[in-house]
Structure 1
Amino acid sequence: MHSIDAYRAHLEQGSFDDQFRLIHSCARIEESRERMRNLLHGMLENFGPTKICLASAPGRTEMGGNHTDHNHGHVLAAAVNLDCLAAFSKADSNVVTIISEGYNPIKVDISDTEPREDEYETSAAIVRGVAEGFRKLGLNIGGFNGCVHSTIPAGAGLSSSAAFEVLVGRIFSYLFNENKVGPLEIASVAKQAENIHFNKPCGFMDQMASSYEGILSIDFTNPDNPGVTRVDPGFKSKSYADGFYGTRYRLCVIDTGGSHADLTPDYAAIPEEMFQAAKCCGQKQAKGLTLNRILENIDDIREAAGDRAVLRLLHFLGEDERALKQERALHDGDMTEFLRLVAESGHSSSNLLQNCYSPATPKRQPIPLALTLTEQILGSHGVGRVHGGGFAGTIQVYVHESDFERYSRAMKNIFGEHSVIELAIRQPGHEFLTIPQKRTEP
């Protein structure tokens, strides 16, 4: 940890630019500098001169495995260059105080880490929940002061809440546990904080992707201890300036608008129907089922859970296998096959999983509209699919660089000036921004 003045001096000398390139991309360096200036100013203004450190936790994008994690399937996910960035210092008490631009200050006394109903769906609940998770694992916790800034748009399907949970976990690890808490432990604590303290049911993918970083193939056969394989795409160039891992494609999500507030029943129905259908086949979840088993029990499934449950089960079977095929295509550097599988995944989500719009509001269909327009505008020069939970929010699109500007203008004209969010994949190993060590002469 160093003084605020030391961080400021190195910032103005450009000492952090290489780190900014790695975690935020080349195009965002000026933005990164300004964010850091504001965080340093906020720490000095709110907490006085003190020794601090800076931590970052990324958002994530789902590349394959739409709604497979909750039924113990495979997921392909990646950390992205949008993040929660924090400057922080140790406090003299058990109180965590966080100042975040655009939000009310958070002040949580973690002497008491029990869940509170009056904190449901608040940032305070996340802080208390992460502290509770550390305590239950026998890890150390304590108070800290922090200033936070996020570039992850809320409600855009890029997991802003998971990034904040992982960020708090990284701060507790750094300040009170010699920075030795592993990514699986932090992800597990983060998920429990969201499920119990924040009171939001969710799978495990978001927290895993944010905590591990890079591109991950995740096997949720054992949901408490998922198998994690890092995917190193077989493309020649891996510069952030060269599109999606050196290919001639650029990765983005399109925020189609719409609120997730009234969609909890739609989200909950997907795993519940899969569970009901699997039960008719003699299992607790969809993982391990085959097409023959489903066909043998299809009458029972239709009677107990309905036709949509059969379709959703068929989506799971295809999507679970498809996520592994996408991993292999990336590893082999086969972009054509990878994009073919992305398109296949999108069609399965639309036709079988049926999570592109809510049946309660059939006149509002921004995701099908965005997907159809993407296909019309790009033709063979791009592929789109529903992103994340669905029903409202974002689509994910791989756009050939020759068409990106034209496509971007069209989407902004329809869905708003800030609807197009370009992404880069963030690699692991840059959880903290450190002052570079002085080089010694040989």
Structure 2
Amino acid sequence: MNTTTRADAGPGTLADRFEAAFGAAPDGVWAAPGRVNLIGEHTDYNEGFVLPFAIDKRAATAVRLRDDSTVRVLSTAGDQGLAEADTADLSPGAVTGWAKYPLGVVWALQQRGIEVPGFDLLLDSDVPLGAGLSSSHAIECAVVTALNELTGSGLGPEEMVTLTQHAENAFVGAPTGIMDQSASLRGASGHAVFLDCRDQSVELVPFRAQEAGLVLLVIDTKVAHSHADGGYASRRASCELGAQVLGVTALRDVAAADLEEARGLLDPLTFRRVRHVVTENDRVLQTVATLRSQGPAHIGRLLDASHASMRDDFEISCPELDLAVDAARRHGAIGARMTGGGFGGSAIALTAGRDERRVRGAVVRAFAEAGFTAPDIFTVTPAAGAGRLP
């Protein structure tokens, strides 16, 4: 670790700060957004359906290729110093800290037979860390977008999705699916991304809450979570066991009508995990249909049911998430649910604009009364996916 290089030297844009830190202008700046999952949790790795959208918070990377095999990565956060590695020496588990995300992308590109030269990279991100808004995937998607262009690899969005998933699974060690990358790489302003995780087909579904007089609040509980921990992996293992016992390729192939038969074949814990995935897939399809036919003001009951399923059947909520959801509902939210992988992170609350202030205040008071750390509450809107910045 070398802490002599500084990202905060000099004013101006990210390109200016890159030049101040590395002594030369970058080849360009690329950015990728975080995401909020409107509905469809833990269905992605079960080859099911999800409905996320890219948000107006993003990770931006200024990158300059080098003429050697050295990679130097630095963050404007300024508290971790400069990390260096050689592209020939990358291996799973060998890198710690945030540098494992860009270096994991390099490793995954190499696994595809793509030669990646050394480069310097400066990261600036306003996606909250540990909040369940996919801050790590935003970094990976910004980096793969940059390196895809700079190396002339010609990868399409679907290929970049699977490549970053491979980096996350095999290099970082987090057994995540393809939802986060798909939202970040394939998102569009004013739309949610209706993704079929079996074949990666995408339909953009209008989600214009503001036009309907609504806001989508994100309530960051400040309870940090990690996809690499045992809770996420154990849920995935339960789903795989359920599919094996039921004789299907993935839980996507189990219908709601099959659940009573499944109850008799599975142990109680595995059954509850399976029931969440099966009913959550149905809720995604119902949400898409409702958005198209009636608009966002009519999806509240589906958001509420999703949270109950994650709390009771999948057991990935926590007291802070439950309190955020309950307080928001009691004080006017149309619907609310935790979002993301669980065990902390954020909840979302769909709220009429006229009730936003009341809902915010109620959640803050409820956290104070419970002795919890004050939450961070902000609105998000659907944004465009990853790309090169002007």
TM-score range, shorter chain: 0.7 to 0.9
Say if 1:95 and 1:172 are closer, same or farther in 2 by CA, change over 3 A.
same
Q: Which amino acid aligns with 1:280?
A: V
Distance in 1 (CA, whole Å) between partners of 2:113 and 2:336 is 44
- The alignment status of 1:193 with 2:151, answered yes or no, reads no
Counterpart among 276, 298, 320 of residue 366 in structure 1: 320
**Alignment gaps of 5+ in structure 2:** 1-9
Contact 1:108 1:127 in 2 (8 A): no
**Which residue is 1:253 aligned to?**
218
- The alignment status of 1:431 with 2:383, answered yes or no, reads no
**Which residue is 1:267 aligned to?**
232
**Which residue is 2:89 aligned to?**
112
**Alignment gaps of 5+ in structure 1:** 1-34, 236-243, 358-364, 435-442
Cα deviation for residue 106 of structure 1 reads 2.4
Counterpart among 302, 320, 329 of residue 375 in structure 1: 329
Say if 1:356 and 1:417 are closer, same or farther in 2 by CA, change over 3 A.
closer
Cα deviation for residue 417 of structure 1 reads 5.7
Query: Which digits, 9 at most, give the CA deviation of each residue in 1:102-124, with x for residues without a partner?
Result: 23222222133433x331x4333
Distance in 2 (CA, whole Å) between partners of 1:51 and 1:256 is 36
Distance in 2 (CA, whole Å) between partners of 1:41 and 1:126 is 23
Percent same amino acid among aligned pairs?
25
Pairing 1:95-134 to 2, within 5 Å after superposition: 95-102=70-77, 103-115=80-92, 117-119=93-95, 121-134=96-109
**Which residue is 1:408 aligned to?**
360
Distance in 1 (CA, whole Å) between partners of 2:285 and 2:11 is 39
Pairing 1:30-429 to 2, within 5 Å after superposition: 37-50=12-25, 52-102=27-77, 103-115=80-92, 117-119=93-95, 121-177=96-152, 180-214=154-188, 215-222=192-199, 226-233=200-207, 244-260=209-225, 264-302=229-267, 307-357=268-318, 365-378=319-332, 381-413=333-365, 414=367, 419-428=376-385
Q: Which amino acid aligns with 1:84?
A: A
Query: Which digits, 9 at most, give the CA deviation of each residue in 1:35-85, with x for residues without a partner?
Result: 992523322222224353121111011111111112111111111011011
Runs of 4+ in structure 1 deviating by more than 4 angstroms, as ranges, are 415-418
Query: Which digits, 9 at most, give the CA deviation of each residue in 1:363-394, with x for residues without a partner?
Result: xx11111111112222xx43210111122221
Distance in 2 (CA, whole Å) between partners of 1:291 and 1:40 is 52
Secondary structure, in 3 states, of the residue corresponding to 2:198?
A: coil
Cα deviation for residue 418 of structure 1 reads 5.7
Cα deviation for residue 245 of structure 1 reads 4.5
Distance in 2 (CA, whole Å) between partners of 1:311 and 1:231 is 30
Distance in 2 (CA, whole Å) between partners of 1:313 and 1:187 is 26
Q: Give me the CA root mean square deviation.
A: 2.4
Secondary structure, in 3 states, of the residue corresponding to 2:88?
A: coil
Contact 1:101 1:149 in 2 (8 A): yes
Secondary structure, in 3 states, of the residue corresponding to 1:200?
A: coil
Cα deviation for residue 262 of structure 1 reads 10
**Given the two structures, how large is their TM-score scaled by the length of structure 1?**
0.77
Secondary structure, in 3 states, of the residue corresponding to 1:251?
A: strand
Distance in 1 (CA, whole Å) between partners of 2:241 and 2:109 is 34
Distance in 2 (CA, whole Å) between partners of 1:141 and 1:265 is 33
Report the structure number with the largest CA radius of gyration: 1
Distance in 2 (CA, whole Å) between partners of 1:390 and 1:316 is 14
**Given the two structures, how large is their TM-score scaled by the length of structure 2?**
0.87
Cα deviation for residue 153 of structure 1 reads 0.9
